Structure 1
Amino acid sequence: MDETRKALSVSDLPDDILLHVFSFLDALSLCKVRRVCKRWNHLSTDEILWKHKLLTDVKSWKHVSNAFTEETGNADESTCDMYLKNSPEIQTWKREFYQRTTLHQLTNLLRNFLPTKKFAFGVGASAMDSFGKGRSFFSKLLSFDSANVFQHCGEFPGRFRGAGGGFQFKYKRHMLELCLMYLAPKLLREAMTVEQKIEQLKKMMESTGYSELLTSLKGYIHTIDSRILEGVTEKNTIEVIQQQSEEVLLIDAKLKPDIPMLILSVRKVEADPHISPYEISKSLRLNTLSRPWMVCECSAEMIYRDVVDGMDWLIGTATPLL
């Protein structure tokens, strides 16, 4: 054996080979390899590497928000930073770490002294109708919640026909009110076309009662049926969602700019084929909205579990100082 032959190590691999190896790592692992050495730190933040990871992973993210945009236009923000700021996996890791800090405990204590927050569960509530033999979003949320995350505290009547009434419940020490904004009784809603729903919504917006409700809100919740039904292609499903963008834009024009909008992408069971939150955000043209927004996917059978990330975002955005 040639004694002059030098033993090779991973550090001797050329940059393109290391980048290829790094491309198989998930985001958390890529963050960890940055600590190995200066060279690995430089390679693991490669712009092309993170662009490929972003375009691949974003379609599987369980939620996307206004913080994410492919045309960021911010020269100071790299694709790596954008990924880490928006990835649900990274955000969950950060949240679990933050919850162990004294600052988080102090923040929760201060929030206990805030008044009840009022959120409207809007005209898209009809998307839930077929997912439980007429059982509403609220009944699913409360009856399936074996962990008692959402504690039902009572109901309150509406101040005018079609909206204003709803449910009051406690969630992580927060007292919340979810108001109903139905376009019409269930049988009529099921028979309406998208165009008819938009016309009905326009008429509702002209009423004094709805205007009063919209000005009192801290947040707005909208549901959309994201299922790809049997015999219906993904393209056709996206076209149906695109038709509802006018409904979302109409609500956006009536709400105050600082009111966040949460869109729940609902399907009947978790295994149902569906359109991703990323595709929904593009189909609804959400980047044109004048407010914070988030699209969060959830299944009707596990609504109490899947809606948690969306509710946390909604509460946090409605109270930005905390």
Structure 2
Amino acid sequence: MSETKKTKVLIIGSGPAGYTAAVYSSRAMLEPVLVQGLQPGGQLTITTEVENWPGETEIQGPDLMVKMEAHAKAMGAEVLTDYITSLDLSKRPFTAYGDSGTTYEADAIILATGAQARWLGLPSEEKFKGFGVSACATCDGFFYRGREVVVIGGGNTAVEEALFLTNFASKVTLIHRRDSLRSEKILQDRLFKNPKIEVMWDTTVEEVVGTEAPLGVTGVRAKNVKTGEESIVPCDGFFVAIGHAPASELVKDQLKLHSGGYVWVEPGTTHTSIEGVFAAGDLTDHTYRQAVTSAGMGCMAALDAERWLAEQD
């Protein structure tokens, strides 16, 4: 049964940015409605140990998101299990259409739909996600102290991840399908000078191999694209660094974007190119992509929305 739900602030997305925005806008008595989306809790729900969230020495990613959802609800936010299929930002109130059949009308919107790491699409990669396969070296590199790891990719992200991992790993193998890197020259220079890093050129990863009980990575099956020769590269961790894809499909034709699909915001704020629409977290941040920075931007978005709404009144 379809219905129309009206709210002062509609928050789309349920990662750290979305839930923090819900907490702050609830405290401002804006009675926000948060629509969780296809992956309630966002990327942290596929992360195991989180050791860089302030106040938690170690916490499981899904557990942290359960706590953040509970906090948002305790503050008074209405958290709904729904998915926004389309959004009309051409006039106020803004209108969002849910997969459930519900229509949402909002005076202000906070976009917190996040970004997803691009994956290779291998069944074995999916199998070992969170058990040796990762797309975030700054999140998970700490777990590979004294171990060997493999990074795949050839751009800035891959080189930065490989360099970062040398702080922990005994050896880092960078695998790239071409014979040259796409990353900035200064990063390449650092990479080639680092004694812990070995580069495998003209190579793809065909399969992640590992143990069943307990589930864990022991290596990757690599293939030279020129000779067809295959080999097993031993490793305890496999990092996929072939880029991120911001979840901006809803607004790509309505809002100004930057850096390959990230939502543009006015520097130092969360204001997008349309007044009354705010963006926070990985949807707009192509630099840091951390849970704590996303949460900070969620706070900013709620405060920006509160001030903007007060000016309209």
TM-score by length of 2: 0.27
Q: Which has the higher strand share?
A: 2
TM-score by length of 1: 0.26
Q: Which has the higher contact order (CA 8 A, sep 6+)?
A: 2
